[in-house]
């Protein structure tokens, strides 16, 4: 139950306020002057202080305002509501500036029930803010650095470097194929940095059109283009004090690259349609699945921006290049998704694990995650067996015994056979056949075309 301290020299009003709060089951203490209030505040924490402005004793006409400042200095979480009979707009401004939640004028907009309602509203808001904080931190649970798993020396080196660079303000460029864990590493660096309590703001540079991307990144001024009805803050401003994660930086249009270069050099920019420079304190982490060096060579990417971004370079190895990680990751995903699938699978059988380790994983860790999720749904024993794995993964088995072109041909034949089998079993339903094969529908259609199964 929230606790409340009421400071009011008018006894009948004080008792009325006390009664009303008690009726709402709040915990209430009441005092008649600022001295007694300070003593009470020194003894314990109150969630809310309701105070008059003019009271006998020290501070006199401004006793309530002084009390407000003392509380905010020592216990900033305490909500303060000021009420006064002598309304003075200067006092009101001062009170709000000093952190008061409300400034109520007795007589005008004041009655005890209004005060109680305002207090309850303030408690609710505070609760919501706390929940948001928890929510924000739980969002990163998925990216909890302690949940990044590896066994391989190559990943160990990546993590070592990430830990080393995290506490600095250095710009970091993370390169690696799709699904290798670039975003996860970006989150880890942020979480291990002194900026961890500030926001990590993500921008996906590839999916937005040039105009939208520019105003997402830098914000815009009111009226800067049709539809810009209000001023909007960009992600750089939202990330102030924290980190911005520029995903797929390689796909950023040239004009925006120029603007990014300036932010990296001078930590300032202008909003779209604006003339006043906005200063920010933001750490930049960028990721790309293309080689930025190559893009810079072929003049698709500004070379100067490449050098600015590439202060520390973290290259994530493909999963094929670190097969030692496959068993731990498989077990980890199994534990993560077991309860969703309502299965009490204990693990991956040795045969199935053999296939997982041999497979090439073009989609890297994300593909492994999907394969385990799907296997959990299909499996009905204690262990995940080869039959629970997609055809692509199962094919590895015999293909390994063959070599070169023969292998490719054999793989293709087997793949075609597996597709036909799935289509037969699903009576021609392509979506279900795709699910059975662990492919998405577009990939299935592509493969059906390739094998001449459809036009
Ligand atoms: N070492 C790891 N330990 C645990 N989970 C991992 C690891 N690496 C990747 N993952 C998981 O694999 C999935 C893909 O990772 P992430 O999104 O970070 O990859 P990405 O490189 O950003 O991919 P894309 O290029 O497609 O955006 C996520 O669900 C992530 O949690
Ligand atoms: Mg990503």
Domain boundaries defined on the chain: 3-136, 145-317, 320-450
Helix crossing, 254-266 with 210-218: angle to 10°?
10
Cβ contact 18:62 at 8 Å? no
68 vs 340, higher pLDDT: 68
Q: In the Cβ-directed half-sphere of 106, how many Cα atoms lie within 13 Å?
A: 15
DSSP 232: B
Report the b/e string of 285-314 with b at 16+ CB within 10 A. Answer: bbbbbeebeebbeeeebbeebbebbbebeb
Check residue 236 and give left, alpha or beta (phi > 0: left; psi -120 to 50: alpha): alpha
How far apart are the C-alpha atoms of 227 and 254, rounded to whole Å?
Answer: 24
Q: What percent of the chain stands above pLDDT 90?
A: 52
How far apart are the C-alpha atoms of 329 and 148, rounded to whole Å?
Answer: 9
Consecutive H or E run containing 446 = helix 441-450
How far apart are the C-alpha atoms of 337 and 345, rounded to whole Å?
Answer: 10
Is the predicted pLDDT of residue 410 greater than 70, yes or no? Answer: no
Q: Which residues, 6 or more positions from 199, have their beta carbon under 8 angstroms from its beta carbon?
A: 136, 238, 239, 241, 242, 243
**Predicted local distance difference test score (pLDDT) of residue 321:** 95
User: What is the pLDDT averaged over residues 9-17?
Assistant: 93
For 260, phi then psi, to 5°, come to: -65, -40
Atom of ligand 1 at shortest range from CA of 182: 21
Helix crossing, 63-74 with 34-43: angle to 10°?
10
How far apart are the C-alpha atoms of 455 and 443, rounded to whole Å?
Answer: 15
Fold assignment, 320-450: Helicase, Ruva Protein; domain 3 (1.10.8)
The class level of CATH for 145-317 reads: alpha beta
Give the pLDDT band (50/70/90) at residue 137. Answer: very low
Give the pLDDT band (50/70/90) at residue 398. Answer: low
Q: What is the pLDDT of residues 370-391, one digit of tens each?
A: 999 999 988 988 999 999 999 9
**Predicted local distance difference test score (pLDDT) of residue 139:** 42
Give the pLDDT band (50/70/90) at residue 140. Answer: very low
Give residue ranges with CB within 6 A of ligand 1.
147-150, 176, 178-184, 289, 329, 332, 365-366, 369
Consecutive H or E run containing 279 = strand 277-279
Q: What is the pLDDT of residues 90-126, one digit of tens each?
A: 888 888 888 999 988 887 667 899 999 999 999 888 8
Atom of ligand 1 at shortest range from CA of 186: 18
**Predicted local distance difference test score (pLDDT) of residue 59:** 72
Domain 3-136 and domain 320-450, same fold? Reply is: no
Is the predicted pLDDT of residue 407 greater than 60, yes or no? Answer: no
Burial of 344 (0-12, 13-18, 19+ CB in 10 A): exposed
Place of tokens 């600022």: 34
Fold assignment, 3-136: Rossmann fold (3.40.50)
Give the pLDDT band (50/70/90) at residue 88. Answer: confident
How far apart are the C-alpha atoms of 419 and 447, rounded to whole Å?
Answer: 9
- For the CA of 365, the nearest ligand: 1
Q: Is 444 helix (H, G, I), strand (E, B) or coil?
A: helix
Atom of ligand 1 at shortest range from CA of 332: 4
Cβ contact 165:313 at 8 Å? no
User: Can you list the alpha helix ranges (DSSP code H) found in 201-246?
Assistant: 210-218, 235-238
**Predicted local distance difference test score (pLDDT) of residue 174:** 98
**Predicted local distance difference test score (pLDDT) of residue 89:** 78
Q: Which residues surround ligand 2, an ion (CB under 5 A)?
A: 183
How far apart are the C-alpha atoms of 191 and 197, rounded to whole Å?
Answer: 8
- For the CA of 143, the nearest ligand: 1
**Predicted local distance difference test score (pLDDT) of residue 406:** 57
**Predicted local distance difference test score (pLDDT) of residue 235:** 92
Cβ contact 5:29 at 8 Å? yes
Distance of CA 175 to the CA centre of its chain: 20
Is the predicted pLDDT of residue 142 greater than 60, yes or no? Answer: no
408 vs 359, higher pLDDT: 359
Q: What is the pLDDT of residues 277-319, one digit of tens each?
A: 889 999 999 999 999 999 999 989 999 999 999 999 999 999 9
Is the predicted pLDDT of residue 196 greater than 70, yes or no? Answer: yes
Mutation pick for ligand 1 pocket among 150, 184, 247 (CB with most ligand atoms within 8 Å)? 184
Q: What is the average pLDDT value for the chain, to the nearest integer?
A: 87
Is the predicted pLDDT of residue 330 greater than 50, yes or no? Answer: yes
**Predicted local distance difference test score (pLDDT) of residue 163:** 93
DSSP 386: G
Is the predicted pLDDT of residue 31 greater than 90, yes or no? Answer: yes
Report CA(353)–ligand 2 centroid distance (Å): 26
**Predicted local distance difference test score (pLDDT) of residue 159:** 94
Task: Tell the residue nearest (CA) to atom 9 of ligand 1.
Answer: 181
Q: What is the pLDDT of residues 441-450, one digit of tens each?
A: 888 888 888 8
How far apart are the C-alpha atoms of 422 and 435, rounded to whole Å?
Answer: 9
Atom of ligand 1 at shortest range from CA of 368: 12
**Predicted local distance difference test score (pLDDT) of residue 93:** 85
Distance of CA 47 to the CA centre of its chain: 30
**Predicted local distance difference test score (pLDDT) of residue 450:** 83
Is the predicted pLDDT of residue 405 greater than 70, yes or no? Answer: no
Stated pTM of the model: 0.61
Place of tokens 């991307």: 213
Is the predicted pLDDT of residue 400 greater than 60, yes or no? Answer: no
Is the predicted pLDDT of residue 17 greater than 90, yes or no? Answer: yes
Is the predicted pLDDT of residue 43 greater than 90, yes or no? Answer: no
**Predicted local distance difference test score (pLDDT) of residue 267:** 92
* 56, two tokens: 């006998």
Is the predicted pLDDT of residue 347 greater than 70, yes or no? Answer: yes
143 vs 339, higher pLDDT: 339
How far apart are the C-alpha atoms of 25 and 211, rounded to whole Å?
Answer: 54
Tell me the CA distances in angstroms from 290 to 162, 300, 397, one per residue in order.
Answer: 20, 11, 31
How far apart are the C-alpha atoms of 71 and 78, rounded to whole Å?
Answer: 7
How far apart are the C-alpha atoms of 112 and 106, rounded to whole Å?
Answer: 10
Least confident of 168-177, 259-268, 409-418: 409-418
Give the pLDDT band (50/70/90) at residue 264. Answer: very high
């Amino acid at each position: 139950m929230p606790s409340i301290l009421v400071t009011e020299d008018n006894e009948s009003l004080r008792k009325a306020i006390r009664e009303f709060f008690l009726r709402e089951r709040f915990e209430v203490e009441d005092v008649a002057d600022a001295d007694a209030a300070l003593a009470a505040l020194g003894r314990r924490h109150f969630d809310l202080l309701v105070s008059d402005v003019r009271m006998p004793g020290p501070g006199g006409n401004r006793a309530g305002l002084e009390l407000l400042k003392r509380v905010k200095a020592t216990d900033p979480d305490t909500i303060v509501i000021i009420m006064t009979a002598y309304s003075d707009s200067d006092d009101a401004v001062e009170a709000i500036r000093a952190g008061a939640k409300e400034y109520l004028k007795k007589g005008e907009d004041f009655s005890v029930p209004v005060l109680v309602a305002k207090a309850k509203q303030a408690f609710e808001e505070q609760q919501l803010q706390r929940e948001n904080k928890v929510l924000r931190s739980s969002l990163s649970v998925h990216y909890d650095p302690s949940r990044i798993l590896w066994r391989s020396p190559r990943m160990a080196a990546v993590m070592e470097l990430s830990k080393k660079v995290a506490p600095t303000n250095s710009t970091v460029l993370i390169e690696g194929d799709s699904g290798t864990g670039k975003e996860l590493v970006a989150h880890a660096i942020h979480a291990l940095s002194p900026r961890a309590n500030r926001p990590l703001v993500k921008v996906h540079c590839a999916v937005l059109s040039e105009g939208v991307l520019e105003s997402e990144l830098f914000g815009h001024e009111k009226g800067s283009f049709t539809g810009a009805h209000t001023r909007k803050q960009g992600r750089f401003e939202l990330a102030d004090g924290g980190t911005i994660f520029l995903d797929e930086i390689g796909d950023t249009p040239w004009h925006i690259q120029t603007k990014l270069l300036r932010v990296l050099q001078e930590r300032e920019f202008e909003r779209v349609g604006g003339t006043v420079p906005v200063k920010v304190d933001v750490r930049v982490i960028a990721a790309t699945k293309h080689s930025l060096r190559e893009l810079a060579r072929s003049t698709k990417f500004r070379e100067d921006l490449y050098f600015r971004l590439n202060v520390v370079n973290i290259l994530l190895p493909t999963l094929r290049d670190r097969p030692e990680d496959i068993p731990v990751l498989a077990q980890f995903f199994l534990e993560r998704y077991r309860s969703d699938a309502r299965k009490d699978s204990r693990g991956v059988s040795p045969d199935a694990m053999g296939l997982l380790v041999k497979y090439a994983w073009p989609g890297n860790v994300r593909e492994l995650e999907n394969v385990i999720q799907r296997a959990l749904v299909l499996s009905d024993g204690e262990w995940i067996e080869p039959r629970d794995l997609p055809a692509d993964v199962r094919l590895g088995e015999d293909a390994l015994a063959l070599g070169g072109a023969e292998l490719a041909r054999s793989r293709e034949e087997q793949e075609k056979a597996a597709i036909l089998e799935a289509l037969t079993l699903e009576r021609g339903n392509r979506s279900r056949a795709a699910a059975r094969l662990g492919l998405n529908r577009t990939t299935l259609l592509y493969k059906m075309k390739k094998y001449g199964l459809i036009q």
